[in-house]
Amino acid sequence: MNKPASDVRVALLRRLATAICLLLVTVAGAQAEQTFSFDSTPGKLPKTVVPLSYAIELTPDFTSLALPGIETVDIEVREATAQLTLNAVNTTFTEVTIDDGAQRAEVSTDAAAQTATLTFAKPLAVGRHRLRIAFTAQINKFGTGLFSVDYPTPSGIKRLISSKLEPADARRIFPCWDEPSFKASFALTVVIPRNLLAVGNMPIASEEPVAGDLKKVAFAPTPNMSSYLFVLTVGELERVTADAGGVTVGVVTTAGKSGQGRFALDSAVKLLGYYNDYFGVKYPLPKLDLIAVPGGFGGAMENWGGITFFESRLLFDPATNAETARRGIFAIIAHEMAHMWFGDLVTMAWWDNLWLNEGFASWMATKASEQFYPQWQSWLNGYGAKQFAMTLDARRTSHPVQQPIADHSEAVTAFDAITYNKGQALIRMLETYLGEQAFRDGIRKYMAAHAYSNSTTADLWQALESAGGKPITGIAASFTEQDGVPLVVAETTCDGAMQRLTLRQDRFVIAPANDPSLPAHSWQIPIAVGPAHGKPFDEILLKGSADIAAGTCGDAIKVNLGDVGYYRVEYGLKNRAALLNAFPQMQVIDRLNVVTDSWALVQAGRAEPPSYLALLDALDAGDHRAVWDQVISTFATLNRLSHDRSARPVIQAYARAKLRPVFDRIGWDGRSGDDDTALLRASLISTLGDLGDAAVVAEAKRRFAAFLDDPSSLPTTLRDAVTHVVGITADRATYDRLLALARNSTATNERLRYYFAAASARDVELARATLALTLTSELPDTIVSGMISTVASAGEQPQLAWDFVRANFDTLLARQGPNFRDQFVPNFMTNFTDEAHAAELAAFAPSQSTSGGRVMVARSIQAIAISADLAARVLPAADAWIRAHKP
C-alpha cells in the first residue's frame, strides 16, 4: 500500500533521526585516544605491504586530458602474500610486474572502494621488492586529483593543469597507498611541452629535450611524506623568488602576473623565519613555492614545498584589490605555511585526527597575524570563527573534534568548522592555561619527536604535559573526545555587603523544541572570571560547580574575561543587569562576548528575543567593528528567516533604523587604507542594501554609474559592496553590463565580483539567465556551485535554483565531481526552513549514496529543522517587541 506523502516524509525523518542517534552512541562509546602505532592506525588498506619510495613518470596530454604514466614503487612486504591492494580511481592498468619482470600481476578493481588488487601467481616473500605499473589515469575538469583550468589572458584562453589531493585523491593521478600513515618518498618526472614550466614538491634536478617539442623534467626526490601532499602544476607560468635563510621561496603565477605576488613573497619570507624559531625545527626542504592557480578549487592546499592557492586568495593588485585584502592573503599564507610543520612534517595518522592539522594551522595563522600586524586585532576581528563552530557544536549532528572516520567520503566531511574553528579555539584556551612559553616548549618537543612520521592527539598531550608541568589531558580530552558546548550558569547572591558567585555546568544545546534531550556531558573548563572592567580572580578549573567570593554586593561580574574560553555563559538576572550598567566600561572583547552569548541563548530557547533586542539599545554607534559585525550577522539571519513572512517589513525597518546611525557616523567616504572602519563601511553598505535602504541603494547605483565612466572614482574598498547592491537590484541592462565586465577582465577577483553580483539579481528572469549560464563553458567550473547558491540566497530564489539543480543534476555532477553530490546539495538545501524540503533532501538518493553524503544530509536536515523552529519562535516575538517599542 502506498503511504501518503506526509507519512513518507515523517518516516524518512524518523529513520534519519535514528541514524543520527546511533552515530552519537558510536562516538560516545569510542575508546580514549592512543599514541601512534602504524599497525593499530585506522584505515582501509591492509598493512602487510608498505611503500618506501615512488619513481613516477607522467606524460599529461593537454588536449585529450589523458594521463599516461609509469611508476616504480619500492615496497616492503611485511607478511608473505600473493596480493597487493592499493588505491586507484578511473585508472586503466596496462601492465603490472614485480622484481624486474619476475612475475606479472592480474589486476581487479573495486570502484566503490577505490582500490585495485594486484594478484601474483606466487606469493611475494617477506622483504623488499620493486613494483612496476604502467597505467593511464585522467585529468579532471573539476578541482580534484590532477585537473585542468582554462583561463582568460589578453592573448586568448590558455590552459594549465594543477593538483588538489586532500584528503584522498592522489589515487586519481597514480596508483598508490593513499592513506596518511603510508609515508614514502616521491621522485617525479614529467614530459611536457618545452614552452611550459612545471612545479612540484622539490626543485628541478634535470631538464632535457625529448622528441618533438617536448621536454622531460625530473624533480629531486621528496622526504618521506603522505601521498595527499604530492603536487604538480604545469602551464605558461613565471616565478619570482627570494632567499630565506638558505631556502628559496617563490611565488608562481600565470604569465604577466608575478608582480602581483610581491606581498605574498614578502609575507612568506618573514613567516618562514618566525615558524623556524617557534617550532624549533627548521623548514627541511630546499624550496617553498606559493602557486597561484586561476581556477580548480576555491581555497588553498598545503602540498609540501608547493602550496597551491586559488589565484585571488594569493595575489594582490592595488588596481583591483582593496587594501584590506592583505589581511586575508596573509592569513591564508600563514595557515598553509603552518601546515609545513603541522600536517606535512608531522602528519595525523588517520583522518580522525585531522584537527591536529587544521586546528593548529588556524591557530598559528592568527598568532602570526597578531605577531606581525597587531593593528589588525585578528583574535578580536576573527571572533566569528569560534561563534560559527559553537553554533554547529550545539546541534544534535555535531561530532567530537576527534571523530571516527570510516572512509574517504567521510574524511571530506571532517573539513568543517568543528575541526578548524573549535580546534583553533581549544588550542588557544590550552595555550592560555599553560602559558605561552610552556606551550611552545611542548610544541617543540612534539615536533622533534614525530618529524617525518605520524602522530595522534595523545602524543601531543604527552608533550605538552611534559613541558608545561600541568595536567592537561583531562581538560583537553573533555573537549576533543566528546561533542558539544559547555554552558556555565553564573548567579550572584549577596551576604550582607559581600557578594558570592555560584558557577555550575550544563550543556548548551540548539535544537527544535520537539527534539529529544541530548545526553549530559561534563567538562574540565578553565574559567577566567572577575570584575567586568578589571583583572580576573584566581584561576578556576571548573569540574562541576564552584562557589567563590565575588567582591561587593552589586558589582558586575564577568565570566569568560577576554573571551578565550570555549563555552557559553548564562547570567542570573541580578548580575546581567549589573553587566548592562557596566557595559560601556568593558573591554571590547567582553562586550562582544556578552552580545554573542545573548543571541546564542535566544537561539537555544533559553532567553526571549526581547532580551537581545533590548541589549542592542546599550550599544554605541561608535562601538568597534567586531561588535557591529555580530549585530549585522544576527540581522542577516532574521532577514533570511523572515523571507516570505509577514514579519519581514517590520524586522527590516528595525534593522535599518539600528544600522543607519552607525553608517551615517562613518559615511560613504573615508581615508584610504587598511583599517576596520573601511571593512565596517563595506559591510554596512552591503547589509543596508540587502535590507532595502532606499538611500543606500540609490547612492550605490550612482557611484557604480560613475565608476563605469571613471574607474578611479570608486575606491577599491567599496567596489565589492557597491557592486553587490547594484547586483541585487539589477534590471536587464545592468545585469548585462555586469556580465560584460566579468567577461572582459583577466583578473580573477574582478571576474568573481561581477559574476556573483549578476547572480545576486532578485529579478526571476535574470535568475533563470544566471542558472542557464552555469551550464555553459563560460564560467570557471570553480564558481558554478557558488553561482547557483547565490541565486538561492542573495537572489532569494531558492526554489527556482533547486528545481534547476534537480533538472540538471547529472550534467552538473559530471562537471563538478562527487563533492557536488555529497557536499553541495545538502548544504544548498539549508536555504529552506520547512519540513517538506527536509523530506525532499532525505529522499534525494544521489546524496545518500556514500557514507559521507549521508552525514552531510543528516546535518542539513537538522539545520533546516533548527531554522524552522527559530523562525516560529523568534519572528513573532521580535515583531511584537519592535511594534511595541520602536513604532
Cβ contacts of residue 253 below 8 Å, gap of 6+? 237, 238, 239, 260, 261, 292, 311, 315
Give me the phi and psi of 710, to 5 degrees please. -145, 95
**Contact of 177 with 45, CB cutoff 8 Å:** yes
**Contact of 159 with 149, CB cutoff 8 Å:** yes
Distance CA 566, CA 527 (A): 10
Cβ contacts of residue 447 below 8 Å, gap of 6+? 279, 280, 281, 341, 345, 346
Peptide bond into 167 cis (omega under 30): yes
Distance CA 148, CA 168 (A): 18
Cross-sheet strand order for the sheet of 300-301: 237-244, 247-254, 287-293, 306-310, 300-301
Which residues are 151's β-sheet partners? 158
**Contact of 841 with 853, CB cutoff 8 Å:** no
Given the residues 336, 358, 481, 750, the one annotated as active site: 336
Query: What one-letter code names the amino acid at 346?
Result: V
Handedness of CA 23, 412, 344, 420 (dihedral sign): negative
Question: With left for phi above 0 and alpha for psi between -120 and 50, is residue 484 left, alpha or beta?
Answer: left
3-state SS, residue 353: helix
Which residues are 124's β-sheet partners? 81
Cβ contacts of residue 72 below 8 Å, gap of 6+? 54, 55, 130, 131, 132
Cell 574582478, residue located:
750
Within 13 A of 489's CA, how many CA atoms are on the CB side? Answer: 11
Distance CA 258, CA 291 (A): 10
Cβ contacts of residue 496 below 8 Å, gap of 6+? 553
| Nearest Cα to Cα of residue 444 among 226, 245, 276, 302 | 276
Question: With left for phi above 0 and alpha for psi between -120 and 50, is residue 489 left, alpha or beta?
Answer: beta
Helix (H) or strand (E) holding 85: strand 81-87
**Inter-axis angle of helices 609-616 and 588-603, nearest 10:** 160
| Nearest Cα to Cα of residue 882 among 707, 700, 638 | 638
Give me the phi and psi of 347, to 5 degrees please. -115, 140
- Is 336 tagged catalytic? yes
Chain center to CA of 336: 12
**Contact of 706 with 714, CB cutoff 8 Å:** yes
| Nearest Cα to Cα of residue 329 among 321, 338, 339 | 321
Distance CA 454, CA 171 (A): 20
**DSSP code of residue 4:** P
**Contact of 457 with 33, CB cutoff 8 Å:** yes
**Contact of 873 with 867, CB cutoff 8 Å:** no
| Nearest Cα to Cα of residue 274 among 380, 356, 365, 201 | 365
Cα distances (angstroms) measured from residue 90 to each of 96, 188, 429: 16, 21, 45
Give me the phi and psi of 398, to 5 degrees please. -70, 175
Task: Supply the residues annotated as catalytic.
Answer: 336
